[in-house]
Chain A
Amino acid sequence: MNVFRILGDLSHLLAILILLAKMWRSKSCAGISGKSQVLFALVFSTRYLDLFFVFISLYNLVMKVIYLLCSYITIYMIYGKLRKTYDRENDTFRLEFLLIPVIGLSFLENYDFIPTELLWTFSIYLEAVAILPQLFMISNTGEAETITTHYLFFLGLYRALYLANWIWRYHTEKFYDQIAIISGVVQTIFYCDFFYLYITKVLKGKKLSLP
């Protein structure tokens, strides 16, 4: 465990909590893509099946349970408690365009052709693209609430910190995981355009709106 990894995990947790706090306090999930949140729940559910098979550490176990719980609470908020505020008309990304290639790729490129490993691989590939419905929704409406942009910033920062973690681990432990690394790079690239807007607009006190 290195400093990049722990900061990455905390940044991920902070992103999830920011989103929940936003919905809780405003009693609204406007501007949030329910589809992206369903994909993230699917990512956690397929990746953390190992909770039933292996014990890695108490830290690992607790964090996995927290991520899973938070992601299901988020879905309950969007499609249950706050469904009247859900902006369905602008959440129009076609999930099959992501799911079909991701399922195909996980069958083609994996470490082992066994169910748990295929599900892990699927979750890694899916996570790389799971934010696209949210980014698509922002480009549909042309704007995002500032709190939503903080959520996206910490979610992107998490993956960027994981890249630093992998470089660190390669140099110190000779550890590498090419599936995670390549997907992580792709995932981080999706945030670059957003990072630029976040730094040039949101941090200067302006609302994020697209030209």
Chain B
Amino acid sequence: QEPSKTHDEL
């Protein structure tokens, strides 16, 4: 899986 581009971490 590609790393997510919506960065959901702070």
Binding site for B on A (CB under 8 A): 5, 9, 12, 47, 50, 54, 56-57, 60, 63-64, 67, 111-112, 117, 120, 162, 165, 174-180
Tier of interface size on chain B = under 10
Chain B: residues with CB nearer than 8 A to chain A? 1, 3-10
Kindly provide the distance from the CB of A166 to the nearest chain B CB, expressed in whole angstroms.
9
Residue in B1, B3, B7 whose beta carbon sits within 8 Å of that of A50 in the complex? B7
- Taking a contact as CB atoms under 8 Å apart, the answer to whether A112 and B5 are in contact is yes
| A174 smallest CB distance to B (angstroms) | 5
Chain B residues with Cβ below 8 Å from A12 are: 10
Indicate if the CB atoms of B10 and A67 lie closer than 8 Å: yes
Interface centre among B1, B3, B8, B9 (most CB of A within 10 A): B9
CA distance A179 to B5 in the complex (A): 11
CB-based contact B5/A180 at 8 Å: no
5 A-B pairs with the lowest CB-CB distances in the bound complex, closest first: A177-B3, A56-B8, A174-B1, A63-B10, A9-B10
Q: Chain A residues near B5: list those with CB within 8 A.
A: 111-112, 117
